[in-house]
């Protein structure tokens, strides 16, 4: 005879099992009512109109305003799908005349569809506004049906298109996220059609581990760090640059140099993800800021200066003999004007007057063993880890040649090619005290189950001493205050550290440089004493100007003044 304690224990076990089962059922009912309520309503409506097609569902992507408010960047729009049942159309011409007054229809196409009386379904119009669908519904034509429809919608149209990407047909004609955040966070944004009680009961009895232990798939919405007003200002600035200088391509990045949060990122030409198929060139879809690499020119010089200071081969007070040119391995390197600055040329002048001979001098002092190490430590030649698909890495193969001429040319940004994002990340080390951070566009993921996850770039890895970056920052402030447009752009109450870059563009067919084609680049950070933002701008083959100081100084200062005003940044001097 079993003891009473044994019976009680078994009863408690059975009661516990029943309770657990009830909790699982209750949880699924909650999920159905809260998470899948809208899907059920739409399914019911769709079944009433027609049995064909599924109801579209996908997670949202948000911009984030400076106050933390979420602004839809990629969402779902509801409207109507207008369909025809040809076998029920008695007078096609009359129906066409009435419908064409409400929605645009091709006469010949309509009549051809109406003739296919053996067909039970023919689409006439997609993505029709609800008000328009109501007008068609009111006509009460037999054979014309108005169905509820949902589709991917981008309220900002072209705004941050390269960052966001689009939802459309990809490889093997599968509908999924293409490019940008849509692609990178596809597992988070995608929705499986699980709004069926049968699905849960099947999972419960055939895969109880997945149902009870693993629970809801980690799908949800992506909240980006992109600030829509800042993004709009960047794009407006880039548009004016491209228009003024007829550039082949222009791009820019605005980032927090300490955290890697990206507030704005854009390139032109671009496209509208609401009508992505209308882009004239498929290259418009790719994000050149992470998918293209360039020889960046003299914005590399501050990194060369920092490497020289950090390694101890020079000090801020060092000088060199500048003859205006040097010959290495049979090739001659000149300053932009071909002129020498004489004996005892100071380090400051290398940045203020952008002297190729000076940057070469530093790289040669460091030598083939130390200089390439610093370039690699800056994260050049490796992927940054930004949350964008198809990122490529820079090409630093020239630094492995062992020849002095390759060290020298790399010191002023020729002969090695990097992505704009790589370059921005490397330059951010000067603004944040010497830390190599990971740039990112997503700020957090809001999961459907009610939890969220912060996407952080981490504290970074130290690549430069703090005193090194302080010294270079001081030199770059002097560039803005005294040298850039001869001091005309100096801001009396805010310190700005910046540098221009002009690089010759290589001709891929001859492996030589064009004599009249240049890449212009510009970077800067502010307030320089405690930077909130780093801005990177570049354009490919601007017409009518040789130097970046001519084309990008004013756009950079426009963005700087906008950000200072918009974020109410306190003066630092």
For residue 217, pLDDT beyond 80: no
Q: State the pLDDT confidence band at 455, using cuts at 50, 70 and 90.
A: confident
Q: Are 228 and 156 in contact (CB under 8 A)?
A: yes
- Residue range 433-462: mean pLDDT, rounded: 92
For residue 565, pLDDT beyond 70: yes
What is the pLDDT at residue 11?
Answer: 64
Q: What CA–CA distances, in Å, run from 471 to 37, 303, 433, 497?
A: 60, 12, 10, 11
What is the pLDDT at residue 405?
Answer: 97
Higher pLDDT, 36 or 436: 436
Strand intervals (E) in 260-372: 262-268, 319-322, 325-328, 331-334, 342-346
Average confidence score pLDDT of the chain: 89
| Domain span including residue 560 | 228-276+286-566
Residue holding tokens 């990177």? 536
Q: Are 514 and 507 in contact (CB under 8 A)?
A: yes
pLDDT > 90 fraction of the chain, expressed in percent and rounded: 79
pLDDT in tens, 505-520: 999 888 899 999 999 9
Q: State the pLDDT confidence band at 24, using cuts at 50, 70 and 90.
A: low
- Find, among 241, 276, 30, 240, the residue nearest to 162 by Cα: 276
- Per the domain annotation, does 443 fall within a domain? yes
- Per the domain annotation, does 291 fall within a domain? yes
pLDDT in tens, 130-155: 999 999 999 999 999 999 999 999 99
Q: State the pLDDT confidence band at 191, using cuts at 50, 70 and 90.
A: confident
What phi and psi values does residue 347 have, to the nearest 5 degrees? -60, -40
For residue 561, pLDDT beyond 80: yes
- Per the domain annotation, does 131 fall within a domain? no
Residue holding tokens 């405690």? 530
pLDDT > 70 fraction of the chain, expressed in percent and rounded: 86
pLDDT in tens, 293-327: 999 999 999 999 999 999 999 999 999 999 999 99
- Per the domain annotation, does 123 fall within a domain? no
Q: What CA–CA distances, in Å, run from 474 to 352, 430, 467?
A: 12, 11, 11
Q: State the pLDDT confidence band at 458, using cuts at 50, 70 and 90.
A: confident
- Per the domain annotation, does 290 fall within a domain? yes
For residue 214, pLDDT beyond 50: no
What is the pLDDT at residue 488?
Answer: 97
Counting Cα atoms < 13 Å in the Cβ hemisphere of 429 gives: 31
In angstroms, the CA 204 to CA 215 distance is 11
pTM for the model: 0.87
pLDDT in tens, 231-258: 999 999 999 999 999 999 999 999 999 9
Residue holding tokens 């050149």? 288
How does strand 497-507 pair with strand 512-526? antiparallel
For residue 29, pLDDT beyond 60: no
For residue 203, pLDDT beyond 50: no
Q: Worst-scoring range by mean pLDDT, 8-22, 61-75, 276-290?
A: 8-22
- Per the domain annotation, does 163 fall within a domain? no
pLDDT in tens, 369-418: 999 999 999 999 999 999 999 999 999 999 999 999 999 999 999 999 99
pLDDT in tens, 323-380: 999 999 999 999 999 999 999 999 999 999 999 999 999 999 999 999 999 999 999 9
Cis peptide before 414 (omega within 30 of 0): no
For residue 27, pLDDT beyond 90: no
- Residue range 421-437: mean pLDDT, rounded: 98
What is the pLDDT at residue 206?
Answer: 40
For residue 30, pLDDT beyond 80: no
What is the pLDDT at residue 459?
Answer: 79
Q: Are 98 and 126 in contact (CB under 8 A)?
A: no
For residue 207, pLDDT beyond 50: no
For residue 47, pLDDT beyond 60: no
Q: State the pLDDT confidence band at 18, using cuts at 50, 70 and 90.
A: low
In angstroms, the CA 306 to CA 468 distance is 6
Q: State the pLDDT confidence band at 19, using cuts at 50, 70 and 90.
A: low
- Per the domain annotation, does 357 fall within a domain? yes
What is the pLDDT at residue 21?
Answer: 56
- Per the domain annotation, does 299 fall within a domain? yes
What is the pLDDT at residue 318?
Answer: 98
Q: Residue 495 maps to which CATH number? A: 3.40.710.10
In angstroms, the CA 210 to CA 186 distance is 21
For residue 120 the two structure tokens come to 């039970």
What is the pLDDT at residue 118?
Answer: 81
Q: Are 306 and 464 in contact (CB under 8 A)?
A: yes
Domains in the chain, number: 1
Q: Are 125 and 238 in contact (CB under 8 A)?
A: no
- Residue range 18-28: mean pLDDT, rounded: 57
Residue holding tokens 């944040």? 432
What is the pLDDT at residue 121?
Answer: 86
Q: b or e along 245-257 (b: 16 or more beta carbons within 10 Å of the residue's beta carbon)?
A: bebbbbbbbbbbb
What is the pLDDT at residue 288?
Answer: 98
């Amino acid at each position: 005879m079993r003891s009473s304690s044994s019976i009680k224990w078994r009863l408690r076990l059975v009661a516990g099992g029943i309770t657990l089962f009830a909790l699982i059922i209750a949880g699924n009912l909650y999920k159905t009512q809260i998470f899948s309520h809208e899907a059920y309503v739409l399914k019911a409506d769709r079944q009433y109109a027609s049995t064909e097609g599924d109801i579209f569902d996908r997670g949202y992507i948000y911009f984030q305003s400076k106050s933390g408010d979420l602004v839809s960047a990629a969402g779902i729009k509801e409207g109507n799908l207008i369909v025809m049942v040809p076998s029920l159309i008695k007078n096609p011409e009359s129906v066409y005349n009435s419908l064409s007054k409400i929605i645009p229809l091709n006469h010949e196409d309509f009549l051809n569809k109406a003739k296919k009386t053996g067909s039970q379904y023919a689409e006439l119009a997609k993505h029709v506004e609800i008000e328009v669908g109501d007008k068609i519904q009111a006509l009460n034509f037999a054979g014309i049906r108005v169905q509820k429809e949902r589709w991917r919608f981008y309220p900002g149209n072209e705004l941050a298109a390269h960052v966001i990407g689009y939802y459309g047909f990809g490889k093997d004609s599968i509908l999924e996220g293409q490019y940008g955040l849509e692609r990178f966070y596809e597992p988070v944004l995608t929705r499986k059609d699980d709004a069926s009680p049968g699905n849960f009961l099947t999972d419960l009895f055939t895969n109880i581990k997945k149902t009870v232990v693993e629970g809801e798939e980690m799908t949800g919405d992506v909240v980006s760090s992109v600030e829509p007003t800042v993004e709009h200002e960047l794009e407006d600035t880039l548009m004016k640059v491209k228009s003024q200088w007829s550039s082949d391509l222009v791009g820019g990045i605005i980032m927090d140099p300490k955290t890697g949060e990206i507030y704005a990122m854009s390139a032109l030409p671009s496209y509208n993800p609401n009508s992505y198929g209308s882009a004239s060139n498929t290259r418009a879809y790719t994000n050149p800021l992470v998918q293209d690499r360039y020889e960046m020119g003299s914005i590399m010089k501050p990194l060369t200066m920092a490497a020289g200071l950090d390694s101890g081969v020079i000090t801020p007070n060092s000088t060199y003999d500048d003859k205006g040119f040097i010959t290495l391995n049979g090739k001659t390197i000149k300053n932009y004007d071909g002129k020498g600055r004489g004996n005892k040329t100071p380090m400051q002048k290398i940045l203020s007057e952008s002297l190729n001979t000076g940057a070469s001098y530093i790289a040669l002092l460091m030598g083939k063993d130390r200089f390439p190490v610093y370039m690699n430590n800056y994260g050049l030649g490796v992927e940054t880890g930004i949350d964008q698909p198809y990122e490529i890495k820079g090409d630093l193969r020239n630094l492995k040649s062992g020849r002095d001429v390759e060290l020298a040319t790399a010191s002023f940004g020729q002969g090695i090619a990097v992505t704009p994002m790589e370059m921005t990340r490397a330059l951010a080390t000067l603004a944040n005290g010497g830390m190599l951070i990971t740039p990112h566009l997503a700020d957090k993921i809001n999961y459907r189950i009610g939890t969220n996850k912060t996407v952080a770039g981490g504290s970074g890895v130290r690549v430069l001493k703090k005193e090194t970056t302080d010294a270079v920052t001081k030199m770059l402030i002097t560039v803005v205050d005294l040298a850039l447009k001869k001091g005309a752009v100096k801001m009396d109450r805010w310190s700005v550290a910046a540098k221009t870059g002009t690089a010759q563009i290589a001709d891929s067919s001859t492996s030589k440089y064009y004599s009249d084609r240049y890449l212009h680049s510009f970077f800067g950070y502010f307030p320089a004493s405690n930077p909130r933002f780093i801005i990177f701008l570049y354009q490919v083959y601007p017409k009518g100007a040789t130097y970046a100081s001519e084309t990008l100084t004013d756009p950079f200062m426009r963005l700087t003044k906008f950000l200072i005003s918009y974020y109410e940044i306190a003066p630092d001097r």
